[in-house]
Amino acid sequence: MQCQTVLPGTECTFWSKQGCTFSGNSCQTIVDECQGCERIVDGTIGQVCSVAPSPSRKWAAELCNFATHRKIEIQSIEAKVNPLKASKKAAAGKK
Ligand code: SF4
């Protein structure tokens, strides 16, 4: 159903006939780590995330998996760990 409070008119899975069913009956504003993300939108309570109702929870463990501004860091970390090359290096070192 469509949100009628924070992002009026936006389709949201948390909106029901009883209103917002998310904890606290509202989504929450973004956190510092979100700055620069393309998913930030302006809501009636301030800047909120268009895909995650609780940005602080998305960053609680580690990098938010929806973030658009931090993907390069993830790719560079993955690029550094090439299991094939690591395996070849390890095999060469055993000779
Ligand atoms: S996608 Fe993640 S980083 Fe981007 S605004 Fe939402 S919670 Fe913040």
Higher-pLDDT residue of 74, 28? 28
Listed by start position, the domains of the chain span: 15-94
Nearest CA to ligand 1 atom 7: 55
pLDDT at 5 over 90: yes
pLDDT at site 75: 60
Mean per-residue pLDDT for 2-15? 95
State whether residue 49 is helix, strand or coil.
strand
- Band of the pLDDT at 45, cuts 50, 70, 90? very high
Give residue 92 CA to ligand 1 midpoint distance, Å: 43
Per-residue pLDDT reduced to its tens digit, 58-88: 999 889 999 999 865 556 666 666 788 878 8
DSSP result, 1-56 = -B-SSSSTT-B-TTEETTEE-SGGGS--B--GGGTT-TTEEEETTEEEESS-S-HH
Cα–Cα distance between 70 and 38 in angstroms, integer?
Answer: 11
Mean per-residue pLDDT for 35-46? 97
Mean per-residue pLDDT for 29-55? 97
Give residue 12 CA to ligand 1 midpoint distance, Å: 16
pLDDT at site 76: 62
Query: Which pTM value belongs to this model?
Result: 0.73
